[in-house]
Structure 1
Amino acid sequence: MTDSDLESFVHKVAAEDEHAIKYRTCSWQKTAALLFSESISIAVLSFPWSYSVLGLVPGIILTFAVAGTVLYTSLVLWRFCLKHPDILDVCDIGQKLFWDSPIAYEVTGIFFILNNTFIQALDKLFWDSPIAYEVTGIFFILNNTFIQALDVLVGAELLNTLTNHATCSIVFSVITVIIRFFISLPRTLAQLSRLGIFSAVTMGLAGLFAIIFAGIQDHPAGYVAGAEPLVTVFPVKGTSYVVGMSAFLNITYTFVGQITLPSFIAEMKDPREFPKALWAVTIAELVVFTLCGALMYHSIGNQYMVAPAFGSLTPTYKKIAFSFAIPTTLYLGALYSSVSSRYIFFRIFRNSHHRHSNTLVGWATWAGIVGATWVLAFVIAEVIPFFSDMLSLVSSLFDCWFGFVFWGMAYLTLYPGALKWEGPWRTLETLFNYFLILLGLYILVAGTYAKETIADTNCRHLCKV
């Protein structure tokens, strides 16, 4: 960060002193809480299924490889945000990456919101293109909305589990959407970070209980007498490409969260401290994800594994473990709804006092935007009502861009021309970033192909039971 960049951040923080609603208030600890709450989620329980498909050794190797890649790309993203202090969200980055195009901003925004809602159910990089801003906005909204939809799915499944499937899942989905709407209403991320700590802790307990119960129960759910759980070090012979790719995408999805990082960095008091939060969360992710995946897979085996792995527990144990996941299922989608709504709200009131004041117009607009993201998430959840398929589809459609392609391009922009080939280490890093771009494009094509059978294999009913 140059002196002028630092002065710009200091000025932006000072400019909020007179505002009723202050955004740049997050310490690195609060930012870490947001990152923890985003990563320690119900998706952790997809790791046992992924390990059962890939085999224990390849599964663990892939876990560390994806974690290292996401850590590296997140640090590139952070460096890019420091170089451009005016960035508020990933859509601004999209505009800078693609010739300062306003269309790229809009497209990124749409994908961004859809992605965040799925958990709920590119200027200086490439010549400051305003079209890129619009394109990035579309992806941004889509990405976030799909995450919200995933959250709707999990909430309905949780209530079905705790009530012994007492009513239609559509009703449960509506109930959880209403609750999450109110949780999404705070307008600053600092306020949500307090709930994030509680969410991460309770989800950690849910995972811990799931591991313990999987080990102490007599048999996994669905056990057939004489067919003991089968655990393999490598993939079972005959494992199809489609299933293997789906397992890889599930692991990738759980780690990839860079789409929200520019929004988090933009609300930090001192963005230079962001790596502290990032390293803390990455280490915790590796410990939690690997232990949960390996230990539960060892206890449940291939034949009885489902995703999320709560479903492989016997009814009583499943209810106990799942109940601790309630705060996370309510909170996580709210976080993505807030980030999506923030993007739209800032666009509407870019230079208006409604943006930072407690006005009726400001709050009514905010509530309307939040509500719209949840309505869209509900619709998506009803169209794609299967947890593993939802995870894989999010990964193939959105994580390819926001997890790999964008940050390879960001690196190439940070080191333009001959700078990217300056010395052997810089040359290797440049080649690695070209690889990241190609990897992202491969995930887009191969991942989408792997999920093309969703409609054929998972036909749903109006009321899920």
Structure 2
Amino acid sequence: MSKDLEKNHSELIYDSDVSSAEAYLQNELLKEQDKDIKYRSMGWVKTAFLLLSEYICLAIMSFPWSYSVLGLIPGLIITVFVALTVLYTGRIIGDYCARYPHLTNVCDIGQHLFWNQKWAWWLTALCFIINNTLIQGLHSLVGAKYLNTVSNHGACSVAFAVVASIICFIFSLPRTFSHMSLVGIFSAVTMFLAVLLSLIFAGIQEHPDKYVETAPVVYRLWPEKGTSFVSGCAAMLNIVYTFVGQITYPSFISEMKNPKDFKKALNVVTTIEVIVFALAGSIIYVYVGDEYITAPAFGSLSGHYKIIAFSFAIPTIIFLGALYSNVSSQFIYFQIFKPNSIHRNSHTAKGWITWVLLNAIFWILAFIIAEVIPFFSDLLSLMSSLFDCWFGFVFWGVAYIRIKQAKYKDQYQGFINFYRILTLSEKFNLIINLGLIGCGIFIFGPGTYASVDSIVLSYQADDYGKVFSCASNGI
């Protein structure tokens, strides 16, 4: 095995052919054969369950709210469109990671994409950690929201958030994604049941929560006249935020025995996503209507229906926060202990102490951020516009171009000549990927403006609570 295949971040291979990629992968599998902790141990089925646990999540229950703003037909169109872009870019990621198996996370890929510059690795790493930690913070708050709901505010919300964070921390501790996927199966199944029960309860309940006779249930096929750009963009970003999970794909693929099988998992999961997301968004919205819709939609269910459906979401609330902590901790862990370190693949005291401390640090940070920032819900829209534009669109449009440049590396000089030597299908795909880059730039520009404007408007309306507030956030 060439030593070039084991260079560190500052010396990543910029060009790779199929034979060298396969040789590198086989060498990695051989090195792990006699190790206590084996990372490359997942097949495509376990990967599919891991992806399902990431996507069949609480955010599904905010789709009815998005449809109430966008209208049913535009909401469904945007849902399908975003799903197809994620499927398309996910397949590019699969190809990229199969060609360059030494790139084990999105930060390595960020450096690799942008001229192998170290600044690209550091900038991607910063966004990667912030994104994951904010998602952890969301799950800390949602855990407190659930506990407040079922206990009728039986304790201070901060105390409930602490409890939720501690539970999530415990479930963050498995060392490999293969082990995490086993919990993920249960998480995805219970969340699916939560969504299914919500659909049923929305249809059979006498009326939505807080119903009044003077305001009947009404839904719209198109946006209400006068819907602002800010509210429409926020609803669109909510859908984008739910689908755009590509930031974790390279980390998952890095633990697959055969990275080429990632596409199988992605195809299955995307099909399930579109069906579940579209049905949940449309059916609950139609039965609840504009006046009574909440995000998450559990709050639109009346009485015990709300508690029952929301309770089935507990495993997802815990697991998905734990998953993002696990991804971040593994990323830092691998920077601390290099590939030849005994602490990577063996159960050493130093290794486990480091692993536990990393997860604990991320959960402490997530809890503090979630409690200190009063506009945390709007912060997620801002996060989507700032980060998802790159990790969901721009990166992978550039990745397609890089793959084709590697294929034709000895046959072109300049972009125009590069375009001329592409096949007809490659030219078509190039145009699609340039369009994806354009979508990312739109989300970054106007999307960020809309998110910031929403925060300003909410401040003016005094919609935000106080720092470390004991007030109930139950639904």
How high is the TM-score relative to the length of structure 2? 0.89
Aligned to 2:252: 264
The correspondence for 2:36, drawn from 9, 20, 31, is 20
Find the partner of 1:294 among 282, 285, 289: 282
Q: Which moved more, 1:263-272 or 1:455-464?
A: 455-464
Structure 1 partner of 2:4: none
Are 1:345 and 1:366, in contact at CA under 8 Å, matched by a contact in 2?
yes
Q: Distance in 2 between matches of 1:82 and 1:241?
A: 40
User: What is the identity, as a one-letter code, of the residue corresponding to 1:45?
Assistant: M
Which amino acid is 1:224 matched to?
V
Answer yes or no: is 1:363 the counterpart of 2:352. Answer: yes
Report how far residue 384 of structure 1 moved. 4.1
Following TM superposition, by how much is the alpha carbon of 1:386 offset from its aligned partner in structure 2, in angstroms? 6.3
- Conserved? CA contact 1:148–1:337, under 8 Å: yes
Q: Which residue of 2 aligns with 1:395?
A: 384
Pick from 17, 38, 50: which aligns with 1:34?
50
Matched residue, 2:63: 47
For 1:106-255, list aligned pairs within 5 A: 128-255=116-243
Structure 1 residue 383: Cα displacement: 3.3
What residue in structure 1 maps to residue 98 of structure 2?
82
Letter in 2 for 1:364: I
> Following TM superposition, by how much is the alpha carbon of 1:218 offset from its aligned partner in structure 2, in angstroms?
1.1
Give the structure 2 partner of residue 60 of structure 1: 76
Question: Which blocks of at least 5 consecutive residues in structure 1 are unaligned?
Answer: 100-127
Which residue of the partner structure matches residue 413 of structure 1?
402
Identity rate of aligned residues, in percent? 52
> Which amino acid in the other structure matches residue 96 of structure 2?
F
Q: How far off its partner does 1:295 sit?
A: 0.2
Contact 2:44–2:264 under 8 Å retained in 1: yes
Decide whether the 8 Å contact of 2:370 with 2:376 is kept in 1. no
Q: Distance in 2 between matches of 1:396 and 1:75?
A: 23
Q: What's the counterpart of residue 102 of structure 1?
A: none
In structure 2, relative to structure 1, the CA distance for the partners of 1:221 and 1:384 (3 Å cut) is farther
Q: Which residue of 2 aligns with 1:335?
A: 323
- How many corresponding residue pairs? 437
Give yes or no for contact 2:95–2:260 (8 Å, CA) kept in 1: no
Whole-Å separation in 2 of the counterparts to 1:307 and 1:89: 32
Match of 1:459 among 437, 449, 464: 464
CA RMSD of aligned residues (A): 1.4
| Distance of 1:392 and 1:347 partners within structure 2 | 30
Deviation at 1:244, TM superposition (A): 0.5
Given the alignment, which residue of 353, 361, 365 partners 2:342? Answer: 353
Q: d(CA) in 1 for partners of 2:199 and 2:117?
A: 49
**Higher alpha-carbon deviation: 417-426 or 142-151:** 417-426
Contact 1:150 1:390 in 2 (8 A): no
Aligned to 1:427: 427
Name the stretch that deviates more: 328-337 or 14-23.
Answer: 14-23
Please identify, of 419-428 and 213-222, the stretch whose mean Cα deviation from structure 2 is larger.
Answer: 419-428
The change in CA–CA distance for 1:464 and 1:147 in structure 2 (over 3 A counts) is: same
Is the Cα–Cα contact under 8 Å of residues 249 and 391 in structure 1 kept in the other structure?
A: no
Correspondence list, 1:316-331, <5 A? 316-331=304-319
Shift of the 274–309 alpha-carbon distance from structure 1 to 2, 3 Å rule, reads same
Match of 2:364 in 1: 375
**How far did residue 419 of structure 1 move?**
4.3
Contact 2:36 2:347 in 1 (8 A): yes
In 2: Cα distance, 1:388 partner to 1:227 partner: 27
Change (3 A) 1:137 1:154: same
CA distance in 2, matches of 1:420, 1:93: 24
Q: 1:412 to 1:62 in 2, by over 3 A?
A: same
In the alignment, the residues of structure 1 paired with residue 439 and residue 355 of structure 2 have an alpha-carbon distance, to the nearest angstrom, of 37
Asked whether the equivalents of residues 307 and 387 of structure 1 are also in contact (C-alpha less than 8 Å), the reply is: no
Within 2, Cα distance between the matches of 1:384 and 1:159? 20
Q: Name the aligned partner's letter for residue 278 of structure 1.
A: L
Q: Distance in 2 between matches of 1:393 and 1:10?
A: 42
Unaligned runs of 5+ residues in structure 2 are: 1-16, 406-414
Provide Cα deviations, 1:244-299, integer angstroms capped at 9, x if missing partner.
00100010111111000001000001111111100000000001000000000000
Return the alpha-carbon distance in structure 1 between the equivalents of residues 82 and 400 of structure 2: 18
User: Aligned AA for 2:356?
Assistant: A
Compute the displacement of 1:387 (Å): 7.2
1:92 corresponds to: 108
Q: Secondary structure at the match of 1:415?
A: helix
1:153, 1:385 within 8 Å by CA — same for their partners in 2? Answer: no
Larger Rg: 2
